[in-house]
A and B are shown apart, each in its own frame.
Chain A
């Protein structure tokens, strides 16, 4: 091939390379959720409760002075039961297990729900000590999910337990 023709060939091939790189660097656009959708993110990290027993004075007396803890607690943490309802319908239900080989770590969850934007009655119930029946934490609220917005369901005992954040 003559030199000018080879140069033209190179220009075409370099051009094709640039178009390929330039196009797939940003196109096609990716839409993870529709325009009219919102997200609920359910995310918690919480230590399940455990049943502790108060040591009697006789028991404490028999123990070395430096080990006289008033409560005797098992290492293992309770599973945590969690339910989420939306407008009275069950959206999600699970039992979270403690992490760790001795089941003494936190129980965690992370879930993402895609919903059509709008107003919903959101109810979350949680029991962090399954020896006891029912739910010791309940949060119920009418929430308005705007398009593209994220509502987070989280738990923090210092903030009163279950809470929603938008």
Chain B
């Protein structure tokens, strides 16, 4: 294993444990660590909303800019002061979750293949965020602003882009005029607009984007920031005075860490690090990485154009086009560069039912690495070999807890690309084929590696989503477990409990009739 792969795996393990720790309090769907992108967007909306108010009271004249901001914290404190503090702390939180989001996506290996576009479009967002944030600090025009403006322009002057040193603008009090702050406002409004445009590009190739975290998390986070604003309101330092050099400043380390870094090293070193880090982020997808999964294949003869795969694909990899052989019908078309190879589309296809009599089960959309025909064949073979008092079939997920460890004479295990790839009819097929119970082991709630697999599976099983599990299937014989790669023990316990429950309850009133395809006359 390469050093990079080893580093990534270790980082992934840390994230997994942290997320599971947060699951305890927040649950899967509310876990902020599993929705860092949505958290970032939420903080951005707080920044934008509070910023609009700040903009209305800002005086961009050199004599008025400082007091127009610092007075906010006093008159009226409950509106201006809180909104100003929210603006600052939400911006810091945005930077924090953005950094965590970046590291997490890297740790989980979500930067190549079908995620290449989202990764690459995320890189400029880092630059835009910092330019927006740093320019915001200048507008306050206190000592911290003076320090940051001088340090930033000294850093910029190392690049051969200005004919005159930009730092000359901050030489003395008479170097500045009102136009500086007007220009600054254009930057501080214009760059965030570009940032929002960049965010649109960042997410527009995936479907069902998490634009916001859960309501519970939004309220909790907003409450936390409001409390912080009350306890520790954002205040201005002394007014800027270019005749003086601020000796000590209350630095915002989330935004302005670059200035001490320049002091410790040099502008050349800082630019080298920034450009190197940016280049590394861009070339990361081209470095050696695991091979991509084979993509979904559409069988025109079996696709009736129902578009359920279109509705369920988490990456908008499916579009519908005119069917080549049936005038007036549509057919699913898979975009190779967007397909994750998760198989959720195969699980959504109504033609994927194993009750079809065909010797070779062909469906409308299928995964070459694990076709529904393979799945049915594997299930039939394993059902035939099952023995014991209570026979259970476990459908696991390659990315979740290792279900294969549960294999035993009375337990058949089939591990799937994703549990979302399982057509629900397979549950009934297993029960009518001789299993006493069926257990599905998905990733933890909100933790599906393919975003929506565990959610679609749960909705299909509960009849909220097509294709649904038929209502006549007794739910007592079905158990859906949510277990991550670290939950092997939990999975084993769940199986044990499920078996015990079936044995205690007894299943004599089971309405399901046995069904054996090879003996059946049903077509």
Contacts and interface: CB of A to CB of B under 8 A. Distances in A.
Interface of A: 1, 6-7, 9-10, 12-15, 17-18, 20-22, 24-35, 37-39, 41, 43, 45, 99-100, 105-106, 108-110, 112, 147-150, 152, 154, 165-166
A10 B163 contact: no
6 contacts: A1-B25, A13-B22, A29-B250, A34-B247, A39-B245, A43-B171
B25 A43 contact: no
A20 B92 CA distance: 10
A22 B24 contact: no
Main SS class of interface, A: mixed
A165 B173 CA distance: 11
A108 B252 contact: no
B266 to A, nearest CB: 13
B406 interface: no
Interface stretch (B224-232, B301-309, B408-416, B463-471): B224-232
Nearest to B170: A41
Given A25-B88, A43-B171, A110-B165, A32 B263 contact: yes
Given A18-B224, A43-B171, A154-B171, A1 B24 contact: yes
Interface string B74-113: 0000000000000011001100100000000000000000
Given A21-B89, A25-B254, A30 B259 contact: yes
Contact of A152 (B172, B234, B246): B172
Nearest to B147: A32
Contacts of B24: 1, 6, 9
B142 to A, nearest CB: 12
B243 interface: yes
A52 to B, nearest CB: 23
A43 B254 contact: no
Nearest to B93: A21
Given A27-B250, A30-B249, A13 B25 contact: yes
Contact of B168 (A10, A38, A45, A149): A45
B224 A24 contact: no
Contacts of B22: 13
Contacts of B64: none
Given A25-B232, A29-B250, 18 more contacts: A1-B24, A10-B220, A12-B25, A17-B93, A17-B224, A21-B89, A21-B254, A24-B252, A26-B232, A28-B251, A29-B249, A30-B259, A31-B247, A31-B248, A35-B247, A150-B172, A150-B243, A165-B172
B161 to A, nearest CB: 11
B244 interface: yes
B260 interface: yes
Contacts of A6: 24-27
A26 B252 contact: yes
B244 A150 contact: yes
Contacts of B228: 18, 21-22
Contact of A22 (B220, B232, B244, B248): B232
B154 interface: yes
A149 B88 contact: no
A108 B165 contact: yes
A43 B231 contact: no
A148 B248 CA distance: 10
Nearest to A26: B250
B220 to A, nearest CB: 6
Given A25-B254, A39-B245, A149-B245, A106 B164 contact: yes
Contacts of A110: 154, 157, 165, 167-168
Nearest to A39: B245
A148 B163 contact: no
Nearest to B166: A110
Contacts of A29: 248-251
Interface in B1-30: 22, 24-27
Nearest to B26: A10
Interface string B262-290: 01000000000000000000000000000
B186 interface: no
Contacts of A37: 247
Contact of B242 (A31, A108, A150): A150
A22 B231 contact: yes
B245 A150 contact: yes
Given A10-B220, A24-B253, A25-B88, A148 B154 contact: no
B377 interface: no
B488 interface: no
Task: Please list the 3 inter-chain residue pairs (A to B) with the smallest Cβ-Cβ separation, ordered nearest first.
Answer: A9-B25, A110-B165, A26-B250
A39 B167 CA distance: 14
B245 A148 contact: yes
B118 interface: no
Given A13-B22, A110-B167, A148 B253 contact: no
B163 A22 contact: no
B164 A108 contact: yes
Contact of A109 (B88, B165, B249, B260): B165
Which of the listed residues A25, A165, A166 has the most CB atoms from chain B within 10 Å of its own CB?
A: A25
Contact of A41 (B92, B96, B171): B171
A99 B163 contact: yes
